[in-house]
Amino acid sequence: MGRGPIRLAPFSLVAPALAYASNSFVLKGPATLALVRMVKTVLGIIGGSGIYEIPGLENPQWQTVKSPFGTPSDQLLTGTFHGVDMVFLPRHGRGHIQTPTSINYRANIDALKRVGVTDLISVSACGSLREELPPGTFVMADQFIDRTVAREKSFFGPGLVAHVPMAHPVCPRLSGALTLAAREQKIDHSEGGTYICIEGPQFSTRAESFLYRDWGCAVIGMTAMPEAKLAREAELPYAIVCMVTDYDCWHDEHEHVTVEAVIKVMHSNAGNARKLIMAVAPQLGPDRQPSTCPDRPETVLDYALITAPEKRDPAMIARLDAVAGRVLKK
């Protein structure tokens, strides 16, 4: 039982600053004033370790989505909840078949963009680098340090070069909705903090764990990068829920991180994660509000493309039809 693929009318947000008015967005730029109709929320969820499906969706259907960047981690699960269209992708694939390095992050983000996702929430297991963030805590991180070395980190490249800002990688509107939902569900949580992303699949050494603490990091994981960077390039507002499973290996009074310990806490976290996801959908609602991120993620490509139009590679343009079609088709 289910419905066909989500089909959404294309939309365009074309100016730097947005002010909400009635059923439309009034867009105010340096020399422009435009009126754009309200768009519907299509909430994308990327599920991390232990989160391989979302029960409770209306009209659920697993769908295969092809991407010019290769094969996504799995099919996409589409459905609705409280009137909000939702699209779910298990980051590691059902059954956890992908390593943090083997995940095709570009195909994942491209596929989500291709089916019309407007906002993206990532759910990810992580280790804690702070005493006050014990296992079981959900951390709404708002900054990242990328220590990965073996992953494709951009949709762009030779023939079509782009540089997007990453000063504010997380959308405050999405992160705020997650925080409200966590309060409603009485889930232990913390707002803000830096997520350091390592290559993996090995856990940290003690020396590394202490180094990351000295850097001021709050949590450590293996999957938020380049995911957040690619979401930005795809003009998708992004937020992350970091589910703490352990204290990494810096804490002398707790066992060092092991798969056995992670799985034990992960099962408990997974139930709370599902509750959080279903609670955040009504917070956002079916009628989409613009991102409150200072980097203006919905229109970030307006000022990011640097390759002269006449020098752009046609093959690259075709490949980027979903990710950058809004600006490349102008």
Helix (H, G, I), strand (E, B) or coil at 278: helix
| Pairs from 75-78 (Cβ < 8 Å, separation ≥ 24) | 76/111, 76/112, 76/115, 77/53, 78/2, 78/3, 78/5, 78/6, 78/115
Asked whether 177 and 284 are in contact (CB, 8 A), the reply is: yes
Helix (H, G, I), strand (E, B) or coil at 95: coil
Residue for token pair 């079509």: 160
Asked whether 127 and 257 are in contact (CB, 8 A), the reply is: yes
Query: What tokens were used for 81?
Result: 């909840």
Q: 280: which residues sit within 8 A by CB, 6+ positions away?
A: 43, 121, 177, 178, 180, 181
Asked whether 43 and 54 are in contact (CB, 8 A), the reply is: no
Q: Is 248 a catalytic residue?
A: yes
Catalytic residue among 214, 248, 252, 287: 248
Query: What tokens were used for 304?
Result: 């990011």
Q: Is 287 a catalytic residue?
A: no
Which residues are identified as catalytic? 246, 248
